[in-house]
Amino acid sequence: PKPSADPPATTVKSYACQRRTPLKHHNTFLTDALEILAENAEFNENEGRSVAFRRSASVLKALPHVVRGMDDLKNLPCLGEHSVRVIKEILEDGTSSEVESTRQSEQYQAMKALTGVFGVGVKSADRWFREGLRRPLDLIHTGQKLNLAQQAGVQYYNDLNRPVTKREAVAISHIVEKAVNAVLSGAIITLMGGFRRGKEVGHDVDFLITHLEEGAEEGLMPKVLNWLEEQGLLLYQKTTRNSYLESKDGPARPPHNLDRFERCFSIFKLEKGKEGSGTSLNTSYDSGTTEGITGTTEQPGPSWRAVRVDLVVSPFSQFAFATLGWTGSKLFERELRRWAGQEKGMSLSSHALYDSKQQRYLRANSEEEIFAHLGLEYIPPSERNA
Ligand code: 8DG
Ligand code: MN
Ligand code: MN
């Protein structure tokens, strides 16, 4: 039922993909608090609660003004009872007791520290927490069995928890361009993730690689990694097929070219100052799903640092979907898929858009076309910071 009264001063649409969310907004004092509770809910594997807090925070990020009182919350969507209680407390007392006690809690702090290790998820961190472990170094001291990702995570812990600057992202871009061009000419390399949305710093650097000639991108990832490894620029890498959003969200993936779309989670060795010439490690690399650490005895020093890099290769026919899927933010992506499913009877992934009613895949050559298929106003990357 629609109210017939005057429209509210600020209208905010209920899906994050229907609104513009700039990077810098007016309510950090509230959204930081709500996001602590969201994070804590994730640590307790309560996804529903976590998403509810994230949605509340995201609504406040989209407001063109500071929230000064409860009146400012009138007509806003997505604000659950719990979020409203927290906001009220902060507006009245300056802080929320629940947020502060969460921040101080041993569990929150330990989970934050342990999941802050690359390769460590909530499940492992929680098991270790219940065994009495608190800090990343406890993993070493107590002789925990770590997989290769986690070993690299501990080894480069300090570097990987230091924000990557835009400058460093650009330096990494040059390296990736050089690597890709060395093994395939004419490839297109695009910076994705937070940096595409205009962030000044990130926790990693994300790249999407494609080629105008469909099929030319096949087999590219192993070649690129091989080149990087020969140059001594890789500290860790793991390649997998991309199956992230697809498993949950039904058929939004054309059945053909299943094997082409590849991604790689890696750690680069970035020379400080100028790009290093690199030393040859002569490590062989086989295609397929592989994982390995090179240069395991090396420690970051004054001359270089470790940087997390995500590489994704996409056939050109899926490039628009991959671009949309890897730009983020995570909540924006989640909301796009929810909108597609709940409001449009469609299924969106980073490969394709499937229309259940028409029982066919909808083609798109640009992000604009995907928004149009979804009946959404186009939101540029800099306004997807939901
Ligand atoms: P940050 O690194 O600056 O902290 O922020 P970010 O760039 O927004 O976060 P991110 O963790 O690097 O993720 C960037 C985008 O990539 C995000 O929108 C979600 C998407 N993404 C993953 N993993 C996967 C995956 O496995 N498949 C697909 N299709 N997308 C993914 O993070
Ligand atoms: Mn990123
Ligand atoms: Mn990433």
Closest CA to 87 of 76, 24, 331, 335: 76
Q: Out of 138, 249, 310, 355, which one is annotated catalytic?
A: 310
CATH of domain 163-279+286-386: 3.30.460.10
Q: In the annotation, is 204 catalytic?
A: yes
User: Which residue has the least CA distance to atom 8 on ligand 1?
Assistant: 194
Closest CA to 54 of 359, 335, 383: 335
Please tell me the distance from the alpha carbon of residue 305 to that of residue 151, in angstroms, as a whole number.
Answer: 17
SS percent in the chain: helix, strand, coil, step 5: 45, 15, 40
Any bridge partners for residue 65, and if so which? Answer: none
Q: How far is CA 89 from CA 71, 134, 138, 360, in A?
A: 14, 30, 37, 49
- Whether the bond between 329 and the residue before it is cis, its omega within 30 degrees of 0, is yes
Q: From the CA of 199, give the closest atom in ligand 1.
A: 3
**pLDDT at residue 371, as a whole number:** 99
The answer to whether the CB of 367 is under 6 A from ligand 1 is: no
Q: Report ipTM (2 d.p.).
A: 0.96
- Show the tokens assigned to 202: 């990130």
Element (H, E) at 202: strand 201-202
Is residue 293 a contact partner of residue 236, using CB atoms and an 8 Å limit? yes
CA of 205 to the centre of ligand 3 (A): 6
Three-state DSSP class for residue 342: helix
Q: From the CA of 205, give the closest atom in ligand 1.
A: 2
User: Which residue has the least CA distance to atom 24 on ligand 1?
Assistant: 244
Helices (H), the chain: 28-43, 47-61, 81-93, 97-104, 106-115, 122-130, 136-141, 148-155, 157-160, 166-183, 193-196, 220-230, 319-327, 330-344, 367-373
Please tell me the distance from the alpha carbon of residue 17 to that of residue 78, in angstroms, as a whole number.
Answer: 13
Q: Out of 204, 249, 259, 355, which one is annotated catalytic?
A: 204
User: Which residue has the least CA distance to atom 27 on ligand 1?
Assistant: 244
CA of 298 to the centre of ligand 2 (A): 25
Superfamily for domain range 109-155:
5' to 3' exonuclease, C-terminal subdomain (1.10.150.20)
Is residue 325 a contact partner of residue 196, using CB atoms and an 8 Å limit? no
Burial of 125 per CB tally in 10 Å (0-12, 13-18, 19+): buried
Q: In the annotation, is 126 catalytic?
A: no
CATH of domain 16-102: 1.10.150.110
Q: In the annotation, is 32 catalytic?
A: no
Per-residue model confidence as pLDDT tens for the chain (386 residues): 555 555 555 789 999 999 999 999 999 999 999 999 999 999 999 999 999 999 999 999 999 999 999 999 999 999 999 999 999 999 999 999 999 999 999 999 999 999 999 999 999 999 999 999 999 999 999 999 999 999 999 999 999 999 999 999 999 999 999 999 999 999 999 999 999 999 999 999 999 999 999 999 999 999 999 999 999 999 999 998 865 444 444 556 554 544 466 899 999 999 998 544 433 333 333 334 567 665 555 677 779 999 999 999 999 999 999 999 999 999 999 999 999 999 999 999 999 999 999 999 999 999 999 999 999 999 999 999 99
Closest CA to 27 of 67, 55, 59, 84: 67
**pLDDT at residue 301, as a whole number:** 74
Please tell me the distance from the alpha carbon of residue 46 to that of residue 38, in angstroms, as a whole number.
Answer: 9
The answer to whether the CB of 318 is under 6 A from ligand 1 is: no
The answer to whether the CB of 246 is under 6 A from ligand 1 is: no
The answer to whether the CB of 330 is under 6 A from ligand 1 is: yes
The answer to whether the CB of 193 is under 6 A from ligand 1 is: yes
Q: Do domains 16-102 and 109-155 have the same CATH topology?
A: yes
Task: Show me where the domains of the chain are located.
Answer: 16-102, 109-155, 163-279+286-386
**pLDDT at residue 302, as a whole number:** 79
Q: How far is CA 150 from CA 64, 135, 267, in A?
A: 42, 14, 12
